[in-house]
Amino acid sequence: MDHNRKEIIVKEIKLWKQSKLLPEHYCDFLLTLYTEGEEEIKKSKVTTNFKDILMALLLISLLPVTLLVIYFTEMYFVLQMPIFIIFIIICLISAFFLKNNFLKQLSYIIFALLFLITTIEIGGYYFKENVVVLSIIIVFNCLLWLLTGLKMKQKYFIIAGVIGLILLIVAFFI
């Protein structure tokens, strides 16, 4: 094969590997094949950049800020809800636009917890902390976690949904 053609193919395979168009081990195999074993395959290391760290800190800080707004401020319910909705929207946007799998999973988890807190607050406000309504809200959230876990094949959502339902059942019968 012509040297220029090989060079073009090798560059293209490296681009595929970098953009994850093909699994890494396929690209390594093709690189070894086309370079006839001359090119050393470098294992990609997990790199975290400053932007990912800041995004993780932002997502994690949403929970304490939410709890701070609920329990340590004298804000009216009407002012609290837009803050919670903004936090939930931040989690949804980050889940859709982030490429880093860890940050994507973190935004799913933070979203689920914020949604639970928000629905409990709404139920407590409108139904004056009625135990039956609170239980229905928790069952709804646990079932939502179960369905999300089954659909997205995320074990932590399935486990959280099952544990939540079990704890709720135990709390009723004890």
Nearest-angstrom CA–CA distance, 84 and 77 = 10
Which pLDDT score, from 0 to 100, does residue 128 have?
85
What's the pTM value of the predicted model, to 2 decimals? 0.69
**How confident is the model at residue 115, as a pLDDT?**
92
Identity of residue 107: S
Residue that has been written with the tokens 């395959």 in this structure = 41
User: Which has the higher per-residue pLDDT, 40 or 72?
Assistant: 72
Predicted pLDDT of residue 41: 53
Q: What SS3 state is found at 152?
A: helix
User: How far is residue 20's CA from residue 39's CA, in Å, rounded to a whole number?
Assistant: 19
Q: What is the DSSP letter of 8?
A: H
Q: What is the pLDDT of residue 48?
A: 62
| The pLDDT of residue 161 | 93
Confidence of residue 142 (pLDDT cuts 50, 70, 90): very high
Which residues does 18 contact at the CB level (< 8 Å), separation at least 6? none
pLDDT for res 67: 84
What is the pLDDT, as a whole number, of residue 149? 92
Q: What are phi and psi of 76, to 5 degrees?
A: -75, 160
Q: What percent of the chain has pLDDT over 70?
A: 94
Task: Let me know how long the chain is.
Answer: 174
Other beta carbons within 10 angstroms of residue 72's beta carbon come to 8
70 vs 110, higher pLDDT: 110
Other Cβ atoms less than 10 A from the Cβ of 51: the count is 11
pLDDT at residue number 98: 80
| Percent with pLDDT over 90 in the chain | 21
Name the token pair of 16: 């595929």
**Averaged pLDDT, 70-97:** 85
Mean pLDDT, the chain, as a whole number? 84
All structural domains of the chain with their residue ranges: 3-34, 50-173
b/e map of 121-152 (b: 16 or more CB within 10 Å)? bbbbeeeeeeeebbeebbeebbebbbebbeee
Q: Which alpha helices (H) appear in 20-154, and where do they start and end? A: 24-34, 50-71, 77-97, 101-126, 131-152
